[in-house]
Amino acid sequence: MVQYYAILAVCTAMLAAGLAAYWALLFRYKTAFEYLPFNTAIFDLISHLPDAKSGPSLHVMGTVLFVSGACIFLALISSDFLTSGPQLLSTVFAVGSILLSIAFSVISMGTLWQTRRIDFQAGYKIADFHDLIAAANKEIEKVLASYRSYDFTAQPFHCFYLVTTQPFFGMVSYPASEETANFKTHLQLLAEYTKKPSPFSTNMICGDESAIKKLHQDMINRLRLQDGVKRAKIEEYDREAEDGIQKLEAAAAKGVVTRQAEVPPVQFMIIGSRLFEFTLESSGPQSEIFNTQVITDTRYSTAYMKMFDILKRQGRLTPLPGGKSQAAE
């Protein structure tokens, strides 16, 4: 009996110490809990406060002491049905250890789930422009395969939006790349599918002839070539881009391709429910991205679709602060 009450005293002290740590958090950072729903406040109290000054020590102390005390208490209660006498102490700690392992395993898996959920919402980065083209090709192939699997009956997620100066990614930067050729082929298919009875939702905003010409000049003029060779290359790329855009316009339903004098430096592409937001810099013969965020969240995609429609209705694109028009090339 003495062992029973001694163990009870220990687990009670641990529970009290854990609650005291939580109370200290509440008292010290009480303003952080204002206006929070009860369930949110409990999770914040256990794991992390929305306050930059709060540290982990009280959270760790409170959770470890409270959960350990609760496990020992439950083990003590269950030991009444399992054993008594000299075996009480070893039984309590054996059962308590099992319960503690289960408790912290649940907490660990919950933490892992939350971390993965944050990663999912925050998206991921793409390293360079060629990787962006390859990733876009894979996503387009997936969404086109889905469209075909529905017998060409469009669903809400059968959509493609693109805002960029020159729509044929890699034409100048990676002319010999298979990914470049595949992306151009995919654009043509996306345009053609807008004339199906249940059309695929394809929408593009790209630069007009002068904007594309300026882009090609900015890229080619940095090369160490004779002026005549530079002019020939610029004309070649201009002609190839214009021919490609005319084919898209001819293949697509009316209004699918919109041409503007300016395109913002931060551009985007929506493929299905996946958003590609990227900033491109044409500082030489190759375009490079220095910030590409890929997010799989229909809320983001829907918001960007609405922005696309607003920009299209305005009839022009106003460049974002901090720079001239940029392009995917």
Q: How far apart are CA 274 and CA 281, in angstroms?
A: 23
Q: Are 218 and 281 in contact (CB under 8 A)?
A: no
| Percent of the chain predicted with pLDDT > 90 | 30
pTM for this prediction: 0.64
Burial of 317 (C-beta count, 10 Å sphere; 0-12/13-18/19+): buried
Tens of pLDDT, residue by residue over 266-318, are: 789 999 988 998 877 665 555 566 667 888 878 888 899 998 988 787 754 44
Give the residue ranges of DSSP H helices in the chain. Answer: 2-28, 38-46, 57-82, 88-122, 129-149, 178-192, 209-220, 227-251, 298-314
> How far, in Å, CA of 271 to CA of 267, rounded?
14
The packing angle between helices 178-192 and 227-251, to 10°, is: 30
Record the tokens describing residue 135, joined without a space.
Answer: 């990733």
Give the tens place of pLDDT for each residue, 54-88. Answer: 677 777 888 888 888 888 788 777 776 666 666 66
Q: How many CB atoms lie within 10 A of CB 19?
A: 14
The full length of the chain comes to 329
Q: How is residue 182 written in tokens? A: 């595949």
Mean pLDDT (whole number) for 184-199: 95
Task: Map tokens 């699918």 to a residue.
Answer: 256
Torsion of CA 210, 212, 214, 217, to 10 degrees: -130
| Amino acid 282: pLDDT | 62
Residue pLDDT, tens place only, 113-132: 667 666 655 656 777 888 89
Nearest Cα to Cα of residue 253 among 172, 209, 191: 191
pLDDT tens-digit readout, 218-264: 888 877 888 888 899 999 999 999 999 999 999 998 889 998 888 87
DSSP 247-278: HHHHHSPTTSEEEES---SEEEEEETTEEEEE
pLDDT of residue 43: 76
pLDDT band at residue 51, thresholds of 50, 70 and 90? low
**219: which residues sit within 8 A by CB, 6+ positions away?**
172, 282, 284, 285, 286, 287, 329
Asked if pLDDT for residue 179 goes beyond 80, the answer is yes
**Quick one: CA torsion of 79, 82, 88, 89, rounded to 10 degrees?**
-60
N-to-C CA span, the chain: 81
